[in-house]
Structure 1
Amino acid sequence: MAANAQGTAQVMDFEEYVRNRQEALLRSARRLVPDPIDAQDLVQTALARTYPRWGDIADKSLADAYMRRVMINTRTEWWRARRLEEVPTPELPEGSVDDGAEQRADRAMLLDALGMLAPKQRQVVLLRHYRQLSTEETAHALGMSVGTVKSTLHRALARLRAELERQSNGYGRPVEPATGGTEGVCAAA
């Protein structure tokens, strides 16, 4: 009978603590989690975890510190568990792995289009866009004036655009490319 009276006193003591400190506990929880609903859940979970051990807390003046520690540990458990969860999305991610075939095809098409340019045009395009030299640096490297580099680049890019558009529409490559190829360009670039 005495054990039952002690258990009832312990329940009453815990209920009184909850009534008196509920707002303070909720404020502490709000500092730990941004969402007010999650803060309420955190307090309830901490209270549920503390209740079975309430009798083990000898100095009840330290109950707030004990509760804060339980809330911190609970929040950490939630954070770890959520970090490993899958994130729902409206669309499934694409299941294929990019093998680079499309990039290789684009590169081959670009090299074909570069083969259609005159050698000086090809050199200007490669120095300006592949080597990323300035207009002045390109002019110096090729022994041209800055104006000539600009006009050559403009004409070369227009021809490249037209050639790439023609190739992407499936018309194929012309039989005879412009003389020079791309071999000598890399040495100049």
Structure 2
Amino acid sequence: MAHGEVLEFEEYVRTRQDALLRSARRLVPDPVDAQDLLQTALVRTYGRWDGIADKRLADAYLRRVMINTRTEWWRARKLEEVPTEQLPDASVDDSTEQHADRALLMDIMKVLAPKQRSVVVLRHWEQMSTEETAAALGMSAGTVKSTLHRALARLRQELESRNADDSAGAAESAVPTQARRVLEREERERCAA
């Protein structure tokens, strides 16, 4: 970069620093992180300063660099380990419990109509998409969604009635783990849609 452009960049930073720091504060709540964000964006912009033909657009360019930098930081932090006070309990797979869950789930599935059972099996056991399930069963995607919704509601109702009948107070253990996972995944998908 030519000496004149260096001076131009320094002047730009001096005059726009407060406004740019306010922009950084809007992107990250911590004041120290905001200063780090601005400094990182300024360093990245400095290397490309001569490529900004219209310097009136420098603020927009620098804000875009801040947004991209913040996104990079966020992605990197998602991958970091999170320290904890205690180690999580190691889970031990108990095949006996899994077999009991599967048997109970298969018993509960009997309350569904054949079409509902087919949709649940294809969507959740076979992990088929809505469109794949529709093609396999010869129905529309909307029909698959509504059938699945009604089937899962019926399964929930059956699980709740069986839990209510459990006089030992171990209602949670009566709900098969696999059935709970199917129902929870459906809830997440419905909320995400």
Length-normalised TM-score, structure 1? 0.50
Bigger relative CO (Cα 8 Å, ≥ 6 apart): 1
Q: Which has the larger radius of gyration?
A: 1
Length-normalised TM-score, structure 2? 0.49
